[in-house]
Amino acid sequence: MTGGGLLVAGTTSDAGKSVVTAGICRWLVRQGVKVAPFKAQNMSLNSFVTREGAEIGRAQAMQAQACRVEPTALMNPVLLKPGGEQSSQVVLLGKPVGELSARGYHGGRQQQLLGTVLECLAELRGTYDAVICEGAGSPAEINLRRTDIVNMGIARNAGLPVLVVGDIDRGGVFASFFGTVALLSRQDQELIAGFLVNKFRGDVSLLEPGLDMLHDLTGRRTYGVLPFRHGLGIDEEDGLRISLRGAVRESEVSSPFGEDVLRVAVCAVPLMSNFTDVDALAAEPGVVVRFVDRPEELADADLVVVPGTRGTVRALEWLRERGLARALVRRADEGRPILGICGGFQLLGEHIEDDVESRRGQVEGLGVLPVRVRFAREKTLTRPVGEALGEPVEGYEIHHGVAEVTGGEPFLDGCRVGRTWGTHWHGSLESDGFRRAFLREVAAAAGRRFVPAPDTSFAALREEQLDRLGDLIEQHADTDALWRLIESGAPQGLPFIPPGAPA
C-alpha cells in the first residue's frame, strides 16, 4: 500500500518551505503518523552525513529529526553544491558523481535523474504512512518546467497534491499566489490544492477579505495563516541573513550566566558551507555570534571562527584581498583564540595542494597551523566519535582535503597550536560538554568573566524549536483539511486559471 503524500511548494525561494515542511512533519508524528520528509533535488552548501555515509541537505536531516526518524539518502536523492556562479557538484544518492554547469544540468542531466528520484519517493511511500515533500524555488519557473524534477515534475509523476506557501512579510503575496497558479499548465493546476500564508503580522481578520477574493479568483482555499515568529529559521539552506553592508547574522542573546558576554566573529568566506556549525555557540546564554567581512571587526572578538567552504583556495584569496588574512595571522601570534573548521582548518595550514576543487596546484596557506593539505578526488564522508578537552565529541566530515598534521597538540582529527584550533569535524560544538569546555578555554584566553551555563542542551533546544513549528501548524492551519489532502490528494474539479503555461 502506498502512503499519502503532499508537496510543499513556495511562491519564491525562502518563502518558508523548509520550516513549513518540518512543522507538518512534527505535527503528524505527534498524531502517531509514521512520516518521512523528501526533497528530490536540493541546492545547498549546508549538508549533513547520514549514518550510512551519505551526504544530504541539512534541511532534510532537520526534517527527519522533526519526523523522529534517522535521515537517509532516500530523503534527498539529488544534492547540488555550488562551486561558483556557473557550476555545481552533483551528489547522487549521497555520493558525488561530478561537476556540471547549470546549462549542462538543466540541458539533460536533470531529466535523466527523474527515474531515480521517483524510485526513492516510491520506496519512502511504501514504508511510511505519509511523505511530506519540499519543492525548490517556485513551481512556476516556466523556463525550467520541461526538465523539472523537484516541483510540478515530481507532483505530476507521483500524483501529489501541492500546497503553495507565500511569505506575506515580503509583500505581494496575493499576486504571487495568483500568478503562480496562472502560469501553470492545466494538468499542473489540477494538483495545486491551495495556499498557506507564512510570516503574518497583525490581525488575521484584516487579511480574510483578501483570502476570500483569492478563493473567488482561483477556486482554491487557504489552508492556514501562520504568524511571524522569531528564531524559526533553523538549518537554512541557501544563505545568511544579509545586511546592506555584508553578510552579518546576530544571535538572539540571552542574559549571560557569568558576568561577561563572549563575542564570536565568523569570517563570511565565499561559498561558506555548514555555517550552522556556529548555531550551537549562538544557543549559549551570553554568546554573541556575528558574521564579519572586514579585519577591524575581528578586533573586539573573543573568538574568531573560520568556517567551512566549498572553495578553500578561493576563500584564502578572499581573506588576503580583504586584509583578514593578516589580521588572523597577527591574532594567532598574539595568542588570541581562532577556530578553523573543515575548509577553514585547511587554509590555516602551511600549504594546500589542490588539483581537484580549484585546480590551482600548490598554494601557500596562512601558516598558523603545522598542517599540509592535499585534495583527493574521493570525498571523505564520515560520522566520527572521539574525545577532546576531556569531553566526548561527535561530528561529521565532508571534505576532499586530506590533512597531514606535522606538529602541535592533537585536537579531534586536527591539531592545536597555542590558542588556534583546527578540525575537519562539523557539528562538534553540538556536543554540550565539549562546547562548554571549549568556551571556558576561550573565555580564559580572552580574559572574560564568561561562564557557560551548566544546563544548555543543544539537542533539547532543537527539539523545542521543532515542537514550536509543529505548534504553528496545529494552531494556525486547518489540520483536518491538510490530512485530507495528504490522504486523498487534491480536490477534484479545481478550475483552470488562464493564461496557463506558455506554449
CA distance 10 to 177: 9
Q: Strand pairing of 338-341 and 420-423?
A: parallel
Residue count of the chain, please give it.
503
- What 3-state DSSP class applies to 502? coil
Q: Is the peptide bond preceding residue 499 cis, with omega within 30 degrees of 0?
A: yes
Residue type, 189: Q
* Distant-in-sequence, close-in-space partners of 260: CB < 8 Å, separation ≥ 6: 286, 443, 448, 449, 450
CA distance 395 to 374: 22
Backbone angles phi, psi at 280, to 5 degrees: -70, -30
Q: Strand pairing of 371-382 and 351-354?
A: parallel
Residue type, 62: M
- Which residue, chain included where needed, has cell 519526523? 67
Distances (CA, A) of 255 to 214, 287, 441: 45, 9, 20
Residue 440 · residue 447 · CB < 8 Å: no
Cell of 21: 515542511
Catalytic center residues? 342, 426
CA distance 414 to 403: 8
